Amino acid sequence: MSKKIMVLFSFLLSLCFVVNADENEQWHKLCEDGDNKYCNLIGRNYISIKEYKKALNVYKKSCSVNDGEGCAWLGYLCFNGYGVRKNIRKANEFYLRSCDLGFGEGATVWRNFMKIATNWNSTVIKP
């Protein structure tokens, strides 16, 4: 039963990010013009269709201009090894940066991440 719910949830999530070509083109233009809200929408769309390398590039741009959401998504990609080699230390840095930039969800993820890291007795430390 639980597996069926997860499949249904994944399917519904993917529908949320399906955009038509005109809307996609408009989002890219707004992102290129510096509107990070649209960069993050593009990144989430890429993740929903498993285009992780493209999402990585979008979120690198977003994080480089101090967008907390973009940094949090970079942490997610690094932590899971999506589009990049899995790197727990780098994920920690991105989650922490997201937290420092005031992105609340990033701070929550970083706090939970640190609890997990502590349980693993890893060498992940706050930079």
Residue 6 lies in a domain: yes
Residue 51 lies in a domain: yes
Residue 125 lies in a domain: no
CATH number, domain of 98, equals 1.25.40.10
Rounded CA-CA distance 28/100 in Å is 27
Residue 26 lies in a domain: yes
Q: Which domain holds residue 10?
A: 2-119
Q: What is the pLDDT of residues 91-120, one digit of tens each?
A: 989 988 998 998 888 778 777 777 776 665
Query: Which residues in 30-69 are b (16+ Cβ under 10 Å) and which e?
Result: bbeeeebebbbbbbbbbbbeebbebbbebbbbbbeeebbb
Residue 126 lies in a domain: no
Rounded CA-CA distance 101/2 in Å is 36
Q: What is the pLDDT of residues 79-99, one digit of tens each?
A: 899 999 999 899 989 988 998
The reported pLDDT for the residue numbered 68 is 93
The reported pLDDT for the residue numbered 104 is 81
Q: How many domains does the chain have?
A: 1
Residues comprising the chain, all counted: 127
Which residue intervals of 33-103 are DSSP H helices? 36-48, 52-64, 68-80, 88-100
Is 0.85 surpassed by the pTM of this model?
Answer: no
Residue 10 lies in a domain: yes
CA atoms within 13 A on the CB side of 73: 31
